[in-house]
């Protein structure tokens, strides 16, 4: 398997995560430590320093640091500050014993970690831990008190289904991993966490099934994640662009999903999930071209209707890519291919139109893209105005004014609607760009231009790879056994083997009992029932 590596990296980048700060071990003096921390943090309004020191007694001085808004203040006061101020034994101890006492007995919080350098301490602080510094101890404690305002779990906005789970990922990494974990209750589910981004320190989690995900692909993804040396990771697209296979291509080679069930399904087939903190859009890699046409709803409906819908999607793909181009090619170069009556009607419509078909189509397509972008950006209150402008002024009025032909309006509208049928926004967007190229070729070389550009696309896609997996598999290279979940969706009972498309080993994922026995016993179907 050929794996492409990121080759144009700077030779001097470091993989050390906190490389922007020099390495500062904690001192035993509380004042020195506090001074150093204050120097690094500066005067930030949201950082709370609180000291419990009573110079008159011989008890050790204690300092707390936490960030207001990242911690649960009730928890900090009740579970951290109060026990430490109240404890009768604490005052009599020497610093080392006091430290042990605090660590092992006093604090009633779940997560408690030790920090020995200022850098790890700051890292803990920014994650919402309350830091406890003890005079005379070279080790600081970080209590897990993090709590911040989160969006609750909502229905996914971009990948809706009629039947199926209605919850989507949220911006919180932990919530996302828990949603996957809840669906895959197996010891094989592994969650590997990374921190990427020098300034954002964004949590990135690799989620996969041990023994099913291909080790080779996994190693490659880890390698590419480690190689990332950037300021910031604010959304999953940062990761996607930084780790995807090199080469200029309009096609996405990593899938993004907002649905935990889609991610669980992908993981069960051997894909590797990448969840990024701060965005509900998680990534699935490696992805093939055909995986972008599979919706998780395909598996929640009867296979016949799912197969039909898949065929509709592929047709919509071709319509969305080719329809305006075909219209241009046929009306400009190959009129003889149309039935005479249709040709006459088209010619009559185009009679008053001042532009060639290519310009006409280009104008209309661009107009639609403008409308679409406006629909995303504009405030909700102005929505109806845009619909009126779009529907009436640019549709009917434009036709009546003789600027465009009515047939062209139909073509453009149908193209636009078809584009929304494709389940993945990523591939729908790449078609939007390809469509313009297609129209250009159709306008200059007619059908030949369309065929040529299609052929170039086919060659291009045949050469693409996603983490070593050929982009067009399992069609090219073909594996006839796996075709039953590509063009159509075969009944679950017939998909007994897990495909090895993503580099995993082929293995049964269902009990291979004969049908009669299965019907009498408890039927155990579905994706969740896998044997590794």
Partner 1 sequence: MSPLKKHATSLEMTFMVILFEIGSTPMFVLGSKAKQDAWLAMSVGAAAGFALLLLFLWIQRRLPEMELNGMLRFGFGRIAGGSISAIYCCYFAYESMRNLRDFGELTAIILLPATPMSVTMLVFLLIGGYAIWKGAETIFRLPEILLPGLMFFYFILIGMFLLMKGADFRRLMPVAENGLRPILNAALPDIVSFPFGQILVFLLLWSRWNRPGVPVKQTIWAYIGVSLFLIFMEAINIAVLGPDLTHSSVIPLLKAVRTLSGLKFIERLDILVTFMIFIGLLIKMLIFFYCSVRMASLLTNKSEKIWAVAVGAVIYAASFIERDYTQHIAIGLGPSLKIDVIFQVAIPLVLALALALRGRKGFNPPG
Taking the complex as a whole, how short is the minimal distance between the CB of residue 451 and partner 1, in angstroms?
A: 5
Taking the complex as a whole, how short is the minimal distance between the CB of residue 455 and partner 1, in angstroms?
A: 5
User: 191 pairs with which residues across the strands?
Assistant: 207
CA dist., res. 428 & res. 420, Å (int): 7
For 332, residues 6+ apart whose C-beta sits below 8 A from its C-beta are 356, 357, 358, 442, 443, 446
Closest listed residue to residue 289, CA positions, set 56, 493, 486, 89 = 486
- Considering beta carbons, is residue 370 or 455 the nearer one to partner 1? 455
Q: What does each C-alpha distance from 455 to 327, 375, 460, 461 come to in angstroms?
A: 19, 34, 8, 10
- Considering beta carbons, is residue 219 or 455 the nearer one to partner 1? 455
Task: Identify the residue among 366, 378, 393, 459 touching partner 1 (CB under 8 A).
Answer: 459
Q: Per CB under 8 A, which of residues 398..417 are in contact with partner 1?
A: none
Reading the block at residue 128, the tokens are: 């919402």
CA dist., res. 109 & res. 129, Å (int): 11
- Considering beta carbons, is residue 15 or 340 the nearer one to partner 1? 340
Taking the complex as a whole, how short is the minimal distance between the CB of residue 452 and partner 1, in angstroms?
A: 5
Tell me: does residue 463 bind partner 1 (CB under 8 A). yes
Classify residue 146 by its DSSP letter: B
Tell me: does residue 347 bind partner 1 (CB under 8 A). no
Please report which residue ranges of 333-483 form alpha helices under DSSP H. Answer: 340-350, 357-377, 383-388, 398-400, 406-419, 425-463
Q: Report residue 423 CA to chain centroid gap.
A: 14
CA dist., res. 260 & res. 281, Å (int): 10
Reading the block at residue 289, the tokens are: 């071209």
Task: Identify the residue among 7, 8, 157, 340 touching partner 1 (CB under 8 A).
Answer: 340
Reading the block at residue 480, the tokens are: 């006839």
- Considering beta carbons, is residue 11 or 477 the nearer one to partner 1? 477
Stretch that binds partner 1, among 168-176, 218-226, 347-355, 450-458 (CB under 8 A): 450-458
The structure tokens 């831990």 sit at 129
- Considering beta carbons, is residue 370 or 451 the nearer one to partner 1? 451
Please report which residue ranges of 102-214 form alpha helices under DSSP H. Answer: 118-126, 173-183
Question: Using CB atoms within 10 A of its CB, is residue 321 exposed (0-12), middle (13-18) or buried (19+)?
Answer: buried
- Considering beta carbons, is residue 191 or 448 the nearer one to partner 1? 448
Stretch that binds partner 1, among 139-147, 294-302, 455-463, 507-515 (CB under 8 A): 455-463
Stretch that binds partner 1, among 276-284, 307-315, 360-368, 458-466 (CB under 8 A): 458-466
Tell me: does residue 477 bind partner 1 (CB under 8 A). yes
For 162, residues 6+ apart whose C-beta sits below 8 A from its C-beta are 297
Tell me: does residue 434 bind partner 1 (CB under 8 A). no
Tell me: does residue 492 bind partner 1 (CB under 8 A). no
Is the sign of the CA dihedral 401, 404, 407, 411 positive or negative? Answer: negative
Tell me: does residue 339 bind partner 1 (CB under 8 A). yes
Tell me: does residue 439 bind partner 1 (CB under 8 A). no
Residues in contact with partner 1, total (CB under 8 A)? Answer: 28
Q: Where are the beta strands (DSSP E) in 43-180?
A: 47-52, 62-67, 112-115, 130-134, 140-143
Stretch that binds partner 1, among 89-97, 418-426, 449-457, 494-502 (CB under 8 A): 449-457
Task: Identify the residue among 478, 496, 508, 526 touching partner 1 (CB under 8 A).
Answer: 478
- Considering beta carbons, is residue 280 or 499 the nearer one to partner 1? 499
Contact between 357 and 444 (Cβ < 8 Å): no
User: 497 pairs with which residues across the strands?
Assistant: 508
Q: How many CB atoms lie under 10 A from the CB of residue 381?
A: 7
CA dist., res. 126 & res. 177, Å (int): 21
Taking the complex as a whole, how short is the minimal distance between the CB of residue 505 and partner 1, in angstroms?
A: 18
Taking the complex as a whole, how short is the minimal distance between the CB of residue 472 and partner 1, in angstroms?
A: 7
- Considering beta carbons, is residue 315 or 387 the nearer one to partner 1? 315
Task: Identify the residue among 449, 489, 495, 510 touching partner 1 (CB under 8 A).
Answer: 449
Taking the complex as a whole, how short is the minimal distance between the CB of residue 322 and partner 1, in angstroms?
A: 12
3-state DSSP call for residue 272?
Answer: strand
For 15, residues 6+ apart whose C-beta sits below 8 A from its C-beta are 226, 227, 229
Task: Identify the residue among 448, 488, 490, 492 touching partner 1 (CB under 8 A).
Answer: 448
- Considering beta carbons, is residue 35 or 455 the nearer one to partner 1? 455
Taking the complex as a whole, how short is the minimal distance between the CB of residue 216 and partner 1, in angstroms?
A: 17
Tell me: does residue 447 bind partner 1 (CB under 8 A). yes
Tell me: does residue 248 bind partner 1 (CB under 8 A). no
- Considering beta carbons, is residue 276 or 329 the nearer one to partner 1? 329
Taking the complex as a whole, how short is the minimal distance between the CB of residue 340 and partner 1, in angstroms?
A: 7
Reading the block at residue 381, the tokens are: 């209150």
User: C-alpha angle with apex 419: 413 to 424, nearest 5 degrees?
Assistant: 160
Task: Identify the residue among 123, 144, 197, 446 touching partner 1 (CB under 8 A).
Answer: 446
Stretch that binds partner 1, among 115-123, 206-214, 332-340, 372-380 (CB under 8 A): 332-340
Tell me: does residue 270 bind partner 1 (CB under 8 A). no
- Considering beta carbons, is residue 415 or 465 the nearer one to partner 1? 465
* Region label for 332, one of left (φ > 0), alpha (ψ between -120 and 50) or beta (otherwise): alpha
Task: Identify the residue among 60, 470, 499, 503 touching partner 1 (CB under 8 A).
Answer: 470
- Considering beta carbons, is residue 89 or 456 the nearer one to partner 1? 456
* Binding region for partner 1 (CB under 8 A): 333-334, 336-340, 445-449, 451-452, 455-456, 458-460, 462-463, 470, 472, 475-478, 480
């Amino acid at each position: 398997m050929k794996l492409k590596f990121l080759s144009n990296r700077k030779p001097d980048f470091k993989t050390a995560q906190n490389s922007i700060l020099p390495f500062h071990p904690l001192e035993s003096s509380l004042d020195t430590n506090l001074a150093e921390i204050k120097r690094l943090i500066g005067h930030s309004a949201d950082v709370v320093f609180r000291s419990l020191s009573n110079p008159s007694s011989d008890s050790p001085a204690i300092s707390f640091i936490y960030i207001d808004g990242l911690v649960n203040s009730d928890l900090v006061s009740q579970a951290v500050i109060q026990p430490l101020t109240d404890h009768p034994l604490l005052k009599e101890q020497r610093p080392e014993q006091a430290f042990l006492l605090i660590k092992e007995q006093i604090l009633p919080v779940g997560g408690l970690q030790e920090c020995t350098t200022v850098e790890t301490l700051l890292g803990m602080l920014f994650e919402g831990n309350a830091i406890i510094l003890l005079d005379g101890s070279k080790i600081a404690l970080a209590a897990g008190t993090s709590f911040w305002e989160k969006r609750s779990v909502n229905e996914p906005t971009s990948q809706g289904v009629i039947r199926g789970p209605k919850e989507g990922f949220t911006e919180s990494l932990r919530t996302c991993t828990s949603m996957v974990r809840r669906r895959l209750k197996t010891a094989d589910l592994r969650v590997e966490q990374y921190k990427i981004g020098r300034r954002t320190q964004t949590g990135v989690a690799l989620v996969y099934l041990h023994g099913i995900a291909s080790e080779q692909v996994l190693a490659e993804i880890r390698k590419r994640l480690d190689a990332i040396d950037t300021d910031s990771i604010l959304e999953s697209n940062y990761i996607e662009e930084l780790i995807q296979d090199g080469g200029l291509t309009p096609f996405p080679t990593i899938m993004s999903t907002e649905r935990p069930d889609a991610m669980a399904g992908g993981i069960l087939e051997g894909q590797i999930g990448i969840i990024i903190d701060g965005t509900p859009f998680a990534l699935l890699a490696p992805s093939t071209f055909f995986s972008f046409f599979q919706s998780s709803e395909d598996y929640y409906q009867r296979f016949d209707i799912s197969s039909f819908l898949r065929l509709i999607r592929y047709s919509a793909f071709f319509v969305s890519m080719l329809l305006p181009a075909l219209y241009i090619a046929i009306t400009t170069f190959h009129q003889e291919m149309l039935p005479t009556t249709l040709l006459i009607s088209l010619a009559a419509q185009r009679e008053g139109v001042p532009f060639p078909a290519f310009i006409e189509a280009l104008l209309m397509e661009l107009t639609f893209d403008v409308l679409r972008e406006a629909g995303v950006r504009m405030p909700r209150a102005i929505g109806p105005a845009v619909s009126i402008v779009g529907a009436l002024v640019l549709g009917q009025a434009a036709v009546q004014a003789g600027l465009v032909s009515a047939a062209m309006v139909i073509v453009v509208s149908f193209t636009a609607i078809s584009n929304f049928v494709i389940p993945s926004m990523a591939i729908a967007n790449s078609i939007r760009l390809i469509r313009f190229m297609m129209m250009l070729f159709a306008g200059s070389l007619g059908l030949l231009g369309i065929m040529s550009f299609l052929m170039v696309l086919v060659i291009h896609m045949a050469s693409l790879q996603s983490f070593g997996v050929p982009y067009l598999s399992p069609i090219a290279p073909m594996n006839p056994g796996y075709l039953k979940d590509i063009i159509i969706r075969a009944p679950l009972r017939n998909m007994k083997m897990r495909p090895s498309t993503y580099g995993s080993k082929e293995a049964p994922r269902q009990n291979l009992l004969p049908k009669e026995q299965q019907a009498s016993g408890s039927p155990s179907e579905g994706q969740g029932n896998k044997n590794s």
